[in-house]
């Protein structure tokens, strides 16, 4: 299933407008903070689809019947751009374990590149809910390569993907390549992908905007 938060206007649209704005982008602290906010809201919306169980909590004055999340997901972020969103998801799912993957484009020309996965650090992922976050889902190739690389740690019970901006091409590729019980959550879907695989209107390079231009 795919879910697009921009189908209904909310504060997410305000945060999106700021991370796209070339003037506001000059403040990396604000850029990171808005990505964190978007991720926190995505996490909240995702939680509505998760499974909960009845749980009795003892208060100082008695017992209260509450709901408790059954399967705590493993929060998986794609370095380095995904770190800001990871922090936002950690605020929402504060008791979850984390996994980290480095993935980047290795260009042979302006228009041709391969995805290189060089670093993996993860707990046991077998039969766990994988919650993978990355700001941009442009072609979808990085997400597919990251998923395949993570299989060395086990097979997922369910896969949840959260991104700020996606393209229709990337959504189609991920839905085709990942298990059928994969849910994709995005704050916006942009219509165009350039020949160099950049999202239009997009926002630029999220990693550079959040953490500085890499050499």
| Helices and strands counted in the chain (H then E) | 6, 12
- Please report where in the chains the tokens 């008695």 appear, as a residue: 62
E strand map for 17-128: 52-59, 62-69, 74-79, 98-107, 113-121
Report yes or no: 76 and 151 within 8 Å, Cβ to Cβ: no
- What pLDDT shows up at residue 46? 97
- What pLDDT shows up at residue 118? 81
Report yes or no: 56 and 65 within 8 Å, Cβ to Cβ: yes
Q: What whole-number distance in Å separates Cα of residue 135 and Cα of residue 117?
A: 17
- What pLDDT shows up at residue 112? 61
What b/e readout covers 13-50, taking b as 16+ CB neighbours within 10 angstroms? eebbebbbeeeebeeeeebbbbbbbbbbbbbebbeeee
- What pLDDT shows up at residue 154? 93
- What pLDDT shows up at residue 119? 83
Going from the C-alpha of 155 to that of each of 74, 110, 133, 159, 183, the distances in angstroms are 12, 35, 18, 10, 16
- What pLDDT shows up at residue 100? 94
CA quadruple 89, 168, 10, 80: dihedral positive or negative? Answer: positive
Instruction: Spell out the domains of the chain, with CATH numbers in brackets.
Output: 2-52+69-211 (3.40.50.2020)
Question: Can you give the pTM of this predicted structure?
Answer: 0.91
Per-residue pLDDT of the chain in tens (215 residues, 90 and over written 9): 999 999 999 999 999 999 999 999 999 999 999 999 999 999 999 999 999 999 999 999 999 999 999 999 999 999 888 899 999 999 999 999 999 998 766 655 656 666 677 888 999 999 999 999 999 999 998 899 999 999 999 999 999 999 999 999 999 999 999 999 999 999 999 999 887 888 999 999 999 999 988 77
Q: Considering only CA atoms, which of 199, 124, 134, 197 is closest in space to residue 161?
A: 134
- What pLDDT shows up at residue 195? 77
- What pLDDT shows up at residue 215? 75
User: What are the two backbone dihedrals, phi and then psi, of residue 136, each rounded to the nearest 5 degrees?
Assistant: -120, 135
């Amino acid at each position: 299933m795919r879910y697009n938060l921009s189908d209904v206007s909310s504060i997410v649209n305000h945060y999106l407008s700021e991370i796209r704005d070339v003037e506001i982008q000059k403040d990396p602290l604000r850029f990171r903070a808005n990505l964190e906010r978007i991720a926190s809201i995505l996490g909240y919306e995702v939680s509505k689809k998760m499974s909960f169980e009845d749980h009795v909590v003892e208060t100082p004055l008695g017992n209260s019947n509450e709901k408790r999340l059954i399967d705590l997901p493993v929060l998986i972020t794609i370095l380095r751009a995904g770190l800001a969103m990871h922090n936002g998801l950690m605020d929402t799912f504060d008791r979850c374990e984390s996994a980290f993957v480095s993935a980047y484009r290795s260009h042979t020309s302006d228009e041709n590149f391969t995805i290189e996965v060089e670093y993996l650090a993860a707990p046991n992922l077998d039969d766990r809910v994988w919650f993978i976050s990355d700001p941009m889902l442009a072609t979808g190739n990085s997400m597919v390569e990251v998923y395949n690389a993570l299989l060395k740690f086990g097979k997922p019970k369910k896969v949840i993907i959260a991104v700020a901006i996606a393209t229709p091409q990337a959504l189609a590729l991920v839905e085709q390549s990942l298990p059928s019980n994969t849910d994709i959550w995005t704050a916006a879907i942009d219509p165009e992908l350039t020949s160099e695989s950049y999202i239009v209107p997009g926002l630029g390079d999220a990693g550079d905007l959040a953490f500085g231009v890499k050499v």
